[in-house]
Amino acid sequence: MQSSAISIYATALFPPKFLTFLPQGPVFVARRHYCRPRMASLGGFTVKSQLGSASNENSGFSTLIEFMSSGGTHVGDDLVVLFDHIQYACKRIAALVASPFNTSLGKQRFIAAESSGTDRDASKPLDIVSNEIILRSLRNSGKVAVMASEEDDAPIWLNNDGPYVVVTDPLDGSRNIDASIPTGTIFGIYKRLVELDHLPEEEKAMLNSLQCGTRLVAASYVLYSSATILCTSFGSGTHAFTLDRSTGDFILTHSDIKVPRRGQIYSVNDARYFDWPEGLRQYIDTVRQGKGKYPKKYSARYICSLVADFHRTLMYGGVAMNPRDHLRLVYEANPLSFLVEHAGGRGSDGKTRILSIQPVKLHQRLPLFLGSLEDMEELESYGDVQQKVNPGYEV
Ligand SMILES: O=P(O)(O)OC[C@H]1O[C@](O)(COP(=O)(O)O)[C@@H](O)[C@@H]1O
């Protein structure tokens, strides 16, 4: 944080909802006088801190906001404020997906969608509620010019002075929520293109949202699983923070994640084997027999929840893929590719680096392959890995 500027960022003392009542513009100092005891205790076990080098402190725990404010990340006050609102939104979504009432909410809509003949990708109420939670938080932050969401047809212009553009999939994997499968939220953050400020709102909202992935300044996902994990990159390293439910803080638990150069896992819906092109079939047949460049038999893991499959890939290595035109470039492929690249891995559509693909449509879909560098190179060497046959699947 700049020492001269008087800066406000939400803390336990100033949660985002209070900040909405504070004046915009010149900022007042609300420096944190209170430091929470730096020792976490889980059911009687004392947990050792994994503070990364970005922290000024050499012992204890670092929260997401402390990590961002420590000076090592060079993100600036605006992004700190924005992330405080994002983490607040995600804590609310975490509570929502764990709520005993979400199942009936999901079912009502599912029945309605079935009877009206709507396809299986129709949004469920949880998607919509998550979208609203995020929209409100981004608006309250005062830092966002435009939000583009997988749930909305068009981007929403929020604030002429907002320095950032946020693209998001508010709740991915929600089709499996009735079975308590892990779900996740994905974010990508760009700078507002000030050179477009003169354009009509609709036009500048769209063009700001269609920025190439190479222009991302930050990306994150939040995994709602046995633990709620916020994994983020601000362009140098990928770091994960785990929600401490006793304090409500995201605590740094995995600093500077490095995806192993090789994994031994492939992650794909392989019931689609007969719709795959020859190259992809050959690749999977080869690695599952242990006849690839890495002479071990690979294992299959597929949750069918992108954030969960991606998180496991980041931790253990290997390759996570959806070879058909299903996942979205703007909301899913770009943010996750940014994260995997900053962890030393690769994101591609089977041929081209994802981050270098210029989006031409907001909801553009494409094949997506993410993972360990050597696994990705081997996979791409088969050439023909993009599934062109896309008959529509019912489950
Ligand atoms: O049906 P497939 O091809 O296995 O796709 C599953 C993928 O679709 C998703 O459910 C996302 O779909 P939506 O973007 O339509 O919600 C991912 O979480 C998952 O990885």
What are the CA-CA distances from residue 4 to residues 1, 23, 25, 28 (Å)? 9, 19, 16, 11
Tell me whether residue 332 is one of the annotated catalytic residues: yes
Q: Which of 78, 249, 332, 374 is catalytic?
A: 332
387 CB near ligand 1 (under 6 Å)? no
Asked if 173 contacts 304 with a C-beta cutoff of 8 angstroms, the reply is yes
Tell me whether residue 178 is one of the annotated catalytic residues: no
Tell me whether residue 57 is one of the annotated catalytic residues: no
Can you say whether the dihedral through the CA atoms of 168, 344, 212, 214 is positive or negative?
A: positive
122 CB near ligand 1 (under 6 Å)? no
In this structure, are strands 319-328 and 265-267 parallel, antiparallel, or unpaired? parallel
Q: Which of 150, 244, 378, 380 is catalytic?
A: 150
Q: Which of 66, 78, 84, 169 is catalytic?
A: 169
Q: What is the pLDDT of residue 56?
A: 39
Q: What is the pLDDT of residue 2?
A: 34
Q: Which atom of ligand 1 is nearest to the CA of 127?
A: 16
What are the CA-CA distances from residue 329 to residues 36, 302, 326, 362 (Å)? 40, 21, 9, 8
| pLDDT tens for each residue of the chain, 395 residues long | 333 332 333 333 334 443 333 333 323 223 333 334 444 434 333 344 444 344 434 446 899 999 999 867 789 999 999 999 999 999 999 999 999 887 666 555 544 445 444 455 555 589 999 999 999 999 999 999 999 999 999 999 999 999 999 999 999 998 888 899 999 999 999 999 999 999 999 999 999 999 999 999 999 999 999 999 999 999 999 999 999 999 999 999 999 999 999 999 999 999 999 999 999 999 999 999 999 999 999 999 999 999 999 999 999 999 999 999 999 999 999 999 999 999 999 999 999 999 999 999 999 999 999 999 999 999 999 999 999 988 888 77
Instruction: Kindly compute the dihedral angle of the four CA atoms of residues 77, 254, 93, 337, in this order, to the nearest 10 degrees.
Output: 80
Short-list 311, 296, 273, 308, CA closest to 375? 296
Q: What is the pTM of this model?
A: 0.85
Q: Which atom of ligand 1 is nearest to the CA of 268?
A: 4
Tell me whether residue 150 is one of the annotated catalytic residues: yes
Tell me whether residue 172 is one of the annotated catalytic residues: yes
322 CB near ligand 1 (under 6 Å)? yes
Quote the ligand 1 centre to 69 CA distance (angstroms). Answer: 35
In this structure, are strands 228-233 and 265-267 parallel, antiparallel, or unpaired? unpaired
Short-list 356, 364, 76, 71, CA closest to 216? 356
Q: What is the pLDDT of residue 211?
A: 98
326 CB near ligand 1 (under 6 Å)? yes
Report ipTM (2 d.p.). Answer: 0.94
Q: List Cβ<8 Å contacts ≥24 apart for 143-146.
A: 143/78, 143/79, 143/81, 143/82, 143/85, 144/82, 145/192, 145/208, 146/192, 146/204, 146/205, 146/208, 146/209
306 CB near ligand 1 (under 6 Å)? yes
